[in-house]
Structure 1
Amino acid sequence: MSLTAPLAPAPRITYSAVLGSPYVARLLGGTLTGRLPNGMAPVAILLWTIASGNSIAFGGLLSALYGLSSALAQPVKGRLMDRHGQSTVHLPAALLNSALLVALPLAGPYGGPVLATAIVVAGGLTTPPLEAGLRALWPSVLPGPRLRHAALALDTGTQGLLYIVGPLLVAALASAYNPAVALAVTAALGLAGTTVVALAPPSRRWRPTSSAGTQDTALRRLTSPGLVLLFVSLTGIGFAIGAMNVWSIAMAEHHEQDMLAGIIPAAFFTGSFLGGLVYGRRTWTGTTTDRLIAAGAAFLTGWLPLVALPGPFAATIAVAVPGAFLTVVVACAYVTTDALAPASRTSEAYAWLILSIGVGQSAGTALAGRLAEQPLASAALPAAGAAFALTILLAARRRLGPTGQLLRGRHRRPLRGRHKTP
């Protein structure tokens, strides 16, 4: 007779347990509110430009410049957070970003297109790095790796809601009032959400732990082949998303159903949200690298039905499938980044990850715009981006792992009175 009692199964992780942990609801809610301008500002800028008598083409350019400048500035702001802390970066960035969004309708008519372009670019450059900041906070807030796994999936999955709620809110405000009001509300929400996060104790106390070795060693680790290849692969993920957005507009025009331009992306991001909920509640076997590649393969497979040129209803259902695996890919990419990046520069590494997806999305949007009048090519572009991502991941497999840890949390100073993160 064995004297060793059988191990009890690990308790099931629930999202109520995650959200009930100290500071989690505040940090997640504040980050989502503070990042609403990511989904609102490009639409509000476009509508304001048109209402001011400028062309749709110029409005589209300003909108694209806002998103591109925001993405390009992410690594710089991530590096500043690693050096000076989060609140020191978040609050000034939010104040500047909000002031510039409010100033755009006031200064635009007097300075013409040149001043409007300068304000929009400056506004993009000063967006607070809330996404990278939140990912860096989870290890210091949640003591257990399974809780952090669920929080990361919830956090990643809810991002898509920004691009559903944000444009709808802007459209409602612009319709009921005018685009200038939509810009003002965008600025207010961004400032309010960022303030909630920046003044939270975990954000104020957060500091990275110094890496062993010199700054040159840290830089070499940040530019290691594994991380570089991971980031390159994620440009393919972003490319698929950008191409999908344009393809949905082409579908709407082809079938003369304007609502498809919003319904198809909404279905994709709804799939992402639901996929994240399912992924975060389960404990998965195998390594993070295995899950990353498997999710990348499923992401690619999900796009293939579009090549058959389905009708509106079938297309809307179809895009929810790759959407469901988007959260898994991104969540595993963050875990891999955490494992490979130097401890003193993790926020910067997260920012490069965000930049990679953003650059890919811009490229996908640009190329899909040129091919929008060719239905088969337009429908095949998302799959092409996903295939590129999977190819790079497979080639980089040995450099990405193996690591079966959910989140290492090795580099964050725990809050006073809390259990130290393993």
Structure 2
Amino acid sequence: MDRHDVLTPPPTRSGALATYRRLPAVAGWPYLAVSALARLPVSMVPIAVLTAVTSTSGSVAVGGAASAATAVGEALGAAGAGVLCDRHGQRRVLLPLVAAHLLALAAFVAVLGGSVLGGSVAALLAAAFLTGLTLPQVGPLSRVRWMRLSPADVRTAMAYEGVVDELSFVAGPAAVGLIALAADTRTPLLVAGAVTAAFATAFALHRTHRATTPGPAAPRRGVPAPRTAGRQPSVLLPVLGMVAMGAVFGGTQAALTAAATDAGRASDGSLVYAALAIGSTITALGTVLVPASVSLRKRWFLSAAGLLVGAVAMAATAGSTPPLVAATFLTGLFVGPAMVTLNTVTAEAGGTRSGGAAMALLTSGTVLGIAVGSPAAGALADGVGTRWAFAVAVAAAVVLAALSAPRTATAARER
């Protein structure tokens, strides 16, 4: 991911603004622009695949399966690329990865059009998997650069990265919808490829890549001893929470696409989904205003409860677009606090040295949740109706609430 590594920013608004001003001084304004634009395809490709395949095949289930194949590829590719970048440096890995992604994207479009292998579903799923496998995950790599460039500003940099991720998840789905309306449902994939070619390449070549040159890590004063993230219950629980959040995302995407298809315009689903990201961005920025007396467990539970209400509201309004947009926005208002809380629990539990591994687990959890939620909702939409497709988001919200039990909160520091 990735999009959800949000740490609590400095406590005062003026102090936060002062520290944010140090970021361009460290990396330069061009870096901020390039790293922001380079991550747009991460939010564009999965929903563009869902929209294009649904529109071409006429089946939300097939579209959801293709989106799931893309997500599984992303989860595996992000982990593999991260290991390779640690060993060989980011530039040496990113440049061939960009080339591989463009080839995979071209193959996917060719299979979708029926010019390769007759457009079979198996070939389509394989091409979707390769498209996700090679998709450069700029967000996590940018976080690694900040950690190496300016350790004193890591908290501020992580907060900034989280906001940029949220904004990209507003712009990405909206761009897919607008481009599809202006052209056709395949064009957003081509635009995403062009963005990757231009900005992921620029990111790979930017001077900050030198900070990721492999070498022994120098111990820093005040850095806690490393812990094994995968063996800490306090890390595994939020990872499971991220799987549930991913199911909310994937299930909602497929269900909204089904609702838009029922209304006669499958491409409108991505525009409606953008309302979720808009609501999430607003509340992610506002989490700094939550009193410290509200514990992480309470934030976790209240966010999950809000997601449950929102998912039920989306199901109830699935037959009419304006109320559905409002219900989707309502759901998004609880996504931001949920993501911030899960990342905060993980950051506190994982420690500074093992924080990267912990955050990688969160990203994998989110992507795998999407891979489960999207086809499940698509199958429900095709089998029993669009309203039932939102049951995936409802069930995921219930699981997320259950994971906020007192035992969860005691695994991390209360606030």
Q: TM-score range by the shorter chain?
A: 0.7 to 0.9
Answer yes or no: is 1:332 the counterpart of 2:320. no
| Partner in structure 2 of residue 366 of structure 1 | 375
Amino acid aligned to 1:264: V
Identify unmatched segments of 5+ residues in structure 2.
1-11
Question: What CA deviation, in whole Å up to 9, does each residue of 1:309-357 have, x standing for no partner?
Answer: 4753333212212212322322333333333336555434322211211
Aligned CA distance change for structure 1 residues 93 and 303 (closer, same or farther; 3 Å): same
CA distance 1:37–1:170, shift in 2 (3 Å): farther
Report what 1:200 is aligned to: 206
Match of 1:279 in 2: 287
Which residue in the other structure is 1:223 paired with?
Answer: 231
SS at match of 1:243: helix
Describe the shift of the 1:79–1:290 C-alpha distance in structure 2 as closer, same or farther (beyond 3 A): farther
Residue of structure 2 equivalent to 1:13: 16
Whether 2:133 is the aligned partner of 1:157: answer no
Letter of the structure 2 residue corresponding to residue 159 of structure 1:
S
Residue 6 of structure 1: aligned partner: none
* Distance across 2 between alignment mates of 1:335 and 1:376: 34
1-structure distance, mates of 2:314, 2:51: 30
Aligned AA (1:285): A
Q: 1:155 to 1:44 in 2, by over 3 A?
A: closer
**Aligned 8 A contact 1:226 1:396 in 2:** no
Indicate conservation of the 8 Å contact 2:229/2:354, yes or no.
no
2:322 matched to 1:313?
A: yes
**Percent of aligned positions with the same letter in both sequences?**
21
Gap change, CA 1:288 and 1:25, over 3 Å in 2: farther
Give the count of matched residue pairs: 387
Give yes or no for contact 1:275–1:324 (8 Å, CA) kept in 2: yes
Number of the residue aligned with 1:411? none
Match of 2:402 among 385, 391, 396: 391
Amino acid at match of 2:399: F
Q: TM-score, normalised by structure 2?
A: 0.76
Aligned to 1:35: 39
Pick aligned residue for 1:96 from 86, 100, 106: 100
Change (3 A) 1:60 1:402: closer
Distance 1:345 1:83 in 2: 16
2:191 partner letter: V
Contact 1:237 1:385 in 2 (8 A): yes
For 1:295, the equivalent position in structure 2 comes to: 303
The aligned residue for residue 71 of structure 2 is 67
1:23 and 2:27 are equivalent in the alignment: yes
Query: How many Å apart are 1:13 and its aligned residue?
Result: 3.1
C-alpha change, 1:304 and 1:187, in structure 2 (3 Å) is: closer
Give per-residue Cα distances to partners, 1:76-125, cap 9 Å, x unaligned.
32333344443333333222212332355568735554766544433321
1:415 alignment counterpart: none
Q: 1:65 to 1:381 in 2, by over 3 A?
A: closer
2: CA distance, partners of 1:362 / 1:109? 27
Aligned ranges for residues 372-411 of structure 1 at < 5 Å? 372=381, 373-374=384-385, 377-394=388-405, 396-398=407-409, 400-402=411-413
Are 1:130 and 2:141 counterparts? no
Q: State the shift of 1:294 in Å.
A: 4.0
1:402 is paired with a residue whose SS is coil
Deviations 1:38-94 (A, max 9, x none): 34434665787799x877676664444223211233223233334444333333322
Contact 1:156 1:276 in 2 (8 A): no
Q: Rg bigger for which structure?
A: 1
Structure 1 pair 305–335 and aligned structure 2 pair: CA distance change class (3 A): same
Contact 1:170–1:182 at 8 Å: present in 2 too? yes
Post-superposition shift, 1:18?
Answer: 7.0
* TM-score normalised by length of structure 1: 0.75
**8 Å contact kept, 1:36–1:166:** no
Between the aligned partners of 1:288 and 1:23, the Cα distance in structure 2 is 33
Is contact 1:222–1:342 with CA below 8 Å preserved after alignment? no
CA RMSD of aligned residues (A): 3.9
Give 2:256's match in structure 1, choosing from 238, 248, 252: 248
Unaligned segments of structure 1, at least 5 residues: 1-8, 405-422
- Work out whether residues 250 and 374 of structure 2, in 8 Å CA contact, stay in contact via their aligned partners in 1: yes
| AA matched with 2:243 | T
Q: 1:27 to 1:235 in 2, by over 3 A?
A: farther
Moved more, 325-334 or 285-294: 285-294
Aligned partner (choices 76, 79, 82) of residue 78 of structure 1 = 82
